[in-house]
Amino acid sequence: MPSKIYRRRPTVLMDQTLGLLLTDICNALLQLETKDSFEVFGSPDNLRIRPSMTLFDAVPATFPVFGQVLDESYRGERDQRTLDFLVING
């Protein structure tokens, strides 16, 4: 199942409407005073942001905003499970 998710997400990023919407949402996150994902999204959604941003940031030739969200909200720490998955399935 994870490999299907990995193959689908880059397509989402390249979709003109969805990709722009996602980057707009990330830019809005960067404008918030709080950088606490729990405060912004609540549980369990706060736990999904770092893996998603890590995956999107790892896709070549995408927007830098995904890494910026990780830098500001997670002290630049990427999700290790996602990185491991990408190495195994890359």
Tell me the per-residue pLDDT of 56-90, one tens digit each, with 9 for 90 and over.
Answer: 898 877 789 999 999 999 999 999 999 998 887 75
pLDDT tops 50 at residue 45 = yes
Segments forming the whole domain that contains residue 64: 2-89
Question: Does 3 score more than 80 pLDDT?
Answer: no
pLDDT of residue 2: 45
pLDDT of residue 48: 93
Q: How far apart are CA 50 and CA 70, in angstroms?
A: 7
Check residues 74 and 10 and name the one with the higher pLDDT: 74
- Position with higher pLDDT, 44 vs 1: 44
CB contact at 8 A, 80 and 42 = no
The helix (H) or strand (E) run that includes residue 65 is: helix 65-73
Indicate the number of domains in the chain.
1
> Is the N-terminal amide bond of 2 cis, ω within 30° of 0?
no
